[in-house]
């Protein structure tokens, strides 16, 4: 392959729907220049004739947000002295710029090169997510932004923000400020203000990343009760209250009034059409101890089947959010309890670790439901050695089912739960292990099935991450040309 030296310029194609002033691409040009040429100081370090990369997009979606239907297809052609990047949308152009940036290399004498090539590329799955848990440990905004950067380097396109849970409620609600002032670890230092949330969403948009918030209920809500009286169910010991509280109280009208107000705010703050409602791991013992709940069960004809009560609650919450024109994601427990939920609801598979998730995929798609696969990618679990191989070997469509069923698998997600993770170890635990899952979700598995061939690519990519300032842990013995320079 012939290589070309470079003095470098970005430009818009004459036929491009987006031109100068496109916020997404203009900022991308600035970012990618410094990513490709990190030691450029303003002097003319490039040699020979200029090199131009011309970007043409079919749709001017410069001021919009990426969504579930956004095309990320691009065509990249590199020849002597120039490159042409064509995409249907600016989001596809961003993916093409990332690919181009990984083609640029530097020799031992400091000169930059890029090989001639022709690439037609698009993702295998539309939803390629990373979950961060900011309740069990608070993650500073700058670490979330750094994660978004690294996600884009691996072509992830959804940030699933598991923003609240039992331990803390760091989201600062305008409608219900007591939720964070009483439910966060600290009401000033360990919260996400509305400005913080806007900053995350804005940063994500410039990388072509959607932000999907999760407000999990009726379980995982202990922190909610500190700032919202009468929301949680009082637990009883015999005929007297024990002083403890359980899941959200599903029998009070005030519960649904509160949820309607909260999700109205959430839907206006988070522009994405998806919202995650949780619905997992509900402990029924408190509900069963409460005489008011038991009386409601009898009145509704639920008997002593508390899965019916959970179904009743989730159906109400889904109806609230559907009325706000949101597509709902729920953990698979909601399906397991036979809730009557809209057909466009997305089921999130987390059970079946390590191998039986295939049966879950088959069962849920057979019912005609769209699914997201997370079970084999719980990356907070660590083991000695190269466990990235396990993530790479996952084949989301390798389950018994028809072609129509397999079309219902819209993607997958790498989950970083926060029991043992905060800003001190987030990046090295996440990268480059998550990148193995990223390739599986982007690339055709028939063309990228060899772990042996993937290893040197992932090693090289890990060094790129390190040079870009990401604390990506080593895969094995060796070194990078540019080792991490900690600050």
Average pLDDT over residues 146-170: 98
Q: How high is the mean pLDDT of the chain?
A: 93
Cis preceding-peptide flag for 374 (omega within 30 of 0)? no
Helices in 301-356 by DSSP H: which ranges?
306-322, 333-336
Among 377, 356, 373, residue whose Cα is nearest residue 365: 373
Q: Using an 8 Å Cβ cutoff, are 142 and 120 in contact? A: no
Cβ atoms within 10 Å of 206's Cβ, excluding its own: 18
Cis preceding-peptide flag for 355 (omega within 30 of 0)? no
Assigned fold of 3-121: Chitobiase; domain 2 (3.30.379)
Q: What is the pLDDT of residue 16?
A: 87
pLDDT tens-place string over residues 47-82: 556 888 999 999 999 999 999 999 999 999 999 889
Q: What band does 426 get if pLDDT is binned at 50, 70 and 90?
A: very high
Please tell me the class of the 127-467 domain: alpha beta
Q: Which two tokens stand for residue 202?
A: 């804005």
Q: Using an 8 Å Cβ cutoff, are 426 and 150 in contact? A: no
Q: Which two tokens stand for residue 437?
A: 């899952």
Q: Please tell me which residue in 47, 281, 404, 483 is annotated as part of the active site.
A: 281
Angstrom CA distances, 184 to 71, 193, 227, 228, stand at 38, 12, 10, 13
Q: Using an 8 Å Cβ cutoff, are 212 and 129 in contact? A: yes
What is the pTM (predicted TM-score) of this model?
0.95
Average pLDDT over residues 216-231: 97
Among 217, 231, 417, residue whose Cα is nearest residue 334: 217
Determine the Cα–Cα distance for residues 318 and 320; give it in Å rounded to an integer.
5
Q: What band does 173 get if pLDDT is binned at 50, 70 and 90?
A: very high
pLDDT tens-place string over residues 444-477: 888 888 999 999 999 999 999 999 999 999 999 9
Angstrom CA distances, 44 to 23, 50, 113, stand at 27, 11, 15
% of the chain exceeding 70 in pLDDT: 96
Average pLDDT over residues 375-390: 93
User: pLDDT at residue 40 above 80?
Assistant: no
Average pLDDT over residues 23-37: 93
Q: What band does 366 get if pLDDT is binned at 50, 70 and 90?
A: very high
E runs forming strands in 272-374: 274-276, 327-331, 346-349, 370-373
Q: Using an 8 Å Cβ cutoff, are 212 and 276 in contact? A: yes
Q: Domain limits of the chain?
A: 3-121, 127-467
CA dihedral 295, 297, 301, 304 (to 10 degrees): -110
Residue with tokens 């990506």: 472
Residue with tokens 């997201």: 372
Average pLDDT over residues 438-442: 96
Helices in 403-445 by DSSP H: which ranges?
403-406, 426-430, 433-442
User: pLDDT at residue 45 above 50?
Assistant: no
Determine the Cα–Cα distance for residues 174 and 194; give it in Å rounded to an integer.
8
Residue 321 main-chain phi, psi, to 5 deg: -75, -30
Query: Does the fold of domain 127-467 match that of domain 3-121?
Result: no
445 is catalytic: no
Average pLDDT over residues 106-122: 88
Q: Is 104 helix (H, G, I), strand (E, B) or coil?
A: coil
Q: Which two tokens stand for residue 436?
A: 């193995």
Among 430, 442, 440, 415, residue whose Cα is nearest residue 470: 430
Determine the Cα–Cα distance for residues 411 and 423; give it in Å rounded to an integer.
27
% of the chain exceeding 90 in pLDDT: 83
């Amino acid at each position: 392959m012939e290589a070309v030296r470079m003095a470098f310029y970005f430009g818009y194609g004459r036929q491009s729907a987006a031109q100068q002033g496109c916020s997404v691409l203009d900022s991308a040009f600035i970012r990618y220049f410094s990513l490709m040429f990190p030691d450029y100081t303003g002097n003319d370090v490039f040699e020979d004739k200029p090199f131009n990369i011309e970007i043409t997009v079919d749709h001017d979606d410069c001021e919009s947000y990426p969504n579930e239907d956004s095309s990320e297809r691009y065509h990249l052609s590199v020849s002597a002295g120039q490159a042409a990047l064509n995409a249907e949308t600016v989001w596809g152009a961003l993916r093409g710029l990332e690919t181009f940036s990984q083609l640029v290399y530097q020799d031992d004498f400091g000169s930059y090169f890029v090989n001639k090539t022709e690439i037609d590329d698009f993702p295998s799955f539309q939803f390629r997510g990373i979950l961060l848990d900011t309740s069990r440990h608070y993650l500073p905004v700058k670490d979330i932004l750094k994660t978004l950067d690294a996600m884009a380097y691996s072509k992830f396109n959804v940030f699933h923000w598991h923003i609240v849970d039992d331990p803390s409620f760091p989201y600062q609600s305008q409608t219900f400020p007591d939720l964070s002032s009483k439910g966060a670890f600290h009401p000033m230092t360990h919260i996400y203000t509305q400005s913080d949330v806007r900053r995350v969403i804005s940063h994500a948009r410039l990388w072509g990343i959607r932000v999907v918030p999760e407000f999990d209920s009726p379980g995982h809500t202990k922190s909610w009760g500190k700032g919202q009286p009468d929301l949680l169910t009082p637990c009883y010991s015999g005929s007297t209250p024990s002083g403890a509280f359980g899941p959200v109280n599903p029998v009070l009208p005030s519960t649904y009034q509160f949820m309607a107000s909260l999700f109205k705010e959430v839907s206006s703050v988070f522009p994405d059409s998806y919202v995650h409602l949780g619905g997992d791991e509900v402990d029924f013992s408190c509900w069963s101890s409460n005489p008011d709940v038991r009386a409601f069960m009898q009145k509704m004809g639920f008997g002593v089947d508390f899965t019916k009560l959970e179904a009743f609650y989730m159906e109400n919450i889904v109806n609230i959010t559907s009325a706000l024109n949101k597509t709902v994601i729920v953990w698979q427990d909601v399906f397991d309890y036979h809730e009557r939920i809209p057909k466009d609801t997305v089921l999130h598979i987390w059970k079946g670790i390590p191998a039986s998730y295939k049966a879950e995929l088959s069962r849920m798609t057979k019912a005609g439901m769209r699914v997201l696969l997370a079970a084999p990618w719980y990356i907070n679990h660590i083991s000695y050695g190269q466990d990235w191989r396990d993530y790479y070997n996952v084949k989301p469509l390798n389950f018994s089912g028809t072609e129509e069923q397999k079309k219902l698998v819209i993607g997958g997600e790498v989950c970083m739960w926060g029991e043992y993770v905060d800003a001190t170890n987030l990046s090295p635990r996440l990268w480059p292990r998550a990148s193995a899952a990223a390739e599986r979700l982007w690339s055709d598995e028939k063309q990228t099935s060899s772990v042996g061939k993937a290893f040197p690519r992932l090693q090289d990519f890990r060094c790129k991450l390190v040079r870009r300032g990401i604390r990506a842990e080593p895969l094995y013995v060796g070194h990078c040309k540019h080792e991490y320079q900690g600050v």
